[in-house]
Amino acid sequence: MYLIHQLLEQNAERFSERDAIVYQDQCISYQALADSAKRLAHALLAHGVKPGNRVAIYLDKGIEAVISLFGVLKAGATYVPLDPLAPPQRIAVILEDCGVTTIISPHARLAQLQPHLTQRCALKFHISSDNPTIPGDKLKEITWQDVMEEDSKDFIEIPMVESDLAYILYTSGSTGTPKGVMVSHRAALCFIQWACERFQLAPEDRVLNQAPLHFDLSIFDLFSTLMAGATLVLPPPGLSVIPHSLSTFLASQKISVYYSTPSSLIALILHGNLQGQEQYALRLILFAGEVFPPEHLRQLMQAIPEACYFNLYGPTETNVCAYFEVKDAPATGTQAIPIGKASANTELVVLNAHGVVDREGELYVRGPTLMSGYWGRPEQTKQCMIENSQQPYLYRDRLYRTGDQVRRLDDGNLMFLGRLDNMIKSRGYRIEPEEIERILVRHPDIDEAAVVPVPDLRIGNTLSAIVACHVHPAPTVRELKRLCAKHLPDYMVPQRIEVIESLPKTSTGKLDRARLRDQASKTQDPLNR
């Protein structure tokens, strides 16, 4: 097996009638999932999709979305999952950035997108997941029903190799626009297989897919689960809003494996009534994406003592590259949990400011799970995928530069110390403050803007924007928030915006972020804890 969709095809034979996906009152077996994916692949190829094309999946979570991922992969194309909650402007930027030719979405969602698409847009083909085609559209369009009626008997396998791209995930970019992380079949499969074996996923497991499909935590849920012949349970819409509904769902659905950011788990601990009467089948709880405050982890481990707990670490660019099993919650104190040691086939290198291996410094990662680069951004790729000067004879080997500062502990585990740049983590999302700042200064009355993190026990950080304005009266906070929300997903809209006359500068004339961070932490609104 060297391509990720092959895991489904293998298991369609081994576990044909077993439930692959459960969503509300629907379920689909391994065999039916593989058949449907094949029909979609057939339809894509029949309508001109070529291997290597980018196909966007702009669907809410559901069985169709999972069929779509596998269908796109089987057609030899690359899937680009889009955030259904992001503003259409941002989605249009992404579609144009990586030249998406085909999109699978509800009809209305595409209609909302169309006014924002420019000449650069390469979109030619739409698969409508709901309404039938409306004649007169410039795009060629078929419906999901047409796809499922495809006769795929004469489907010919597309020749592919493991270095072909499987998917592109977009993350916040410090240049002001999101950037696409290209992940090959080899990189993804290497992680998927490791996770499946390391966590001993088995056909009896029921794994909840908490993470959105455009977030890299979902790779484990989707692919490691199906590689094991286990069942993936998709949450009904809005399940996470009420933590108590989530804890009841975990119990009633007999979820055995749960993977999310600490933020979702913290909501569950604080408000999910975990100590209630429910019986949980949870045997494995994984978390990643941000630092888990130890006091909350302690509470969680007391509430569900039967489960094993792992802290996973890895930016989207490397997949999970380090992990740490939390055996005992720290009894007291606030000492953070290590990010641990390298996962299989991966090497973690700590280099100090002089580029020499040291106990403390920046973390570099090498191994087969690394991304292939940022789509259409060779310069940015070069900046973070650097030559391995530690082993010059490995002339083609590359190290990924994480921008994370770490310390190697005596037992070999790594401890995360902080970021070397301005990146902010909130709800597990990576946020480049520059991306938000560029939006704020689009307002004609705003001269300068800075976005800084305010530490928050529940979600890691909240965002606070400080803007300089020369006009009286200054634009209202509501107006500025609306401007942000037009271009940015909800988690990137600052919760607090303060208007001042000019931003503080350092002696060298640079924006004094440290001072702004301190001020923002001190003046935070008690309601915006």
Partner 1 sequence: MTSTATVDTAEQIRQFILEELLYDRDDVELDDQTALLETGVVDSMGIFRLIDFIEAQFGLPIQAEDIRVEHFQNIDAIGAFIRSLKK
Where does this chain bind partner 1 (CB under 8 A)? 85, 237-238, 240-245, 264, 267, 270-273, 276, 427, 458-459, 478, 481-482, 485-486, 490-491, 493, 526-529
Least CB distance to partner 1 at residue 276 (A): 7
Q: Which is nearer to partner 1, 237 or 376 (CB)?
A: 237
Sequence length of the chain is 529
| Residue number with CB closer to partner 1 (21 or 274) | 274
CB of 468 to partner 1, least distance (A): 21
Contact 440, 483 (CB under 8 A): yes
Separation between Cα atoms, residue 69 and residue 80, nearest integer Å: 9
Q: What is the dihedral of CA 210, 320, 71, 144, to 10 degrees?
A: 30
CB of 503 to partner 1, least distance (A): 24
Contacts of 500 (CB under 8 A, 6+ apart): 466, 467, 468, 469
Closer Cβ to partner 1, 418 or 526, answer by number: 526
8 Å CB contact between 468 and 446 = yes
> How far is residue 5's CA from residue 160's CA, in Å, rounded to a whole number?
11
User: Nearest to residue 292, comparing CAs of 274, 321, 269, 272?
Assistant: 269
CB 270 to partner 1: min, Å: 7
Cα–Cα distances (Å) from 98 to 42, 181, 272, 412, in that order, read: 23, 10, 40, 40
Residue with Cβ nearer partner 1 (175 or 528): 528
- Residue among 106 and 243 whose Cβ is closer to partner 1: 243
The H or E element that residue 148 is part of is helix 144-148
Minimum separation from the CB atom of position 482 to partner 1 (A): 5
Please work out, in degrees rounded to the nearest 5, the angle formed at the alpha carbon of residue 58 by the alpha carbons of 54 and 63: 105
Compare residues 236 and 355 and give the one whose CB is closer to partner 1.
Answer: 236
Q: Tell me how far, at minimum, the Cβ of 481 lies from partner 1, in Å.
A: 5
| Cβ closest to partner 1, residue 78 vs residue 464 | 464
- CA–CA dist 323, 357 (Å, integer): 21
Smallest gap from Cβ 242 to partner 1, in A, equals: 6
CA dist 30 and 409 (Å) reads: 44
The DSSP 8-state label assigned to residue 527 in this structure reads G
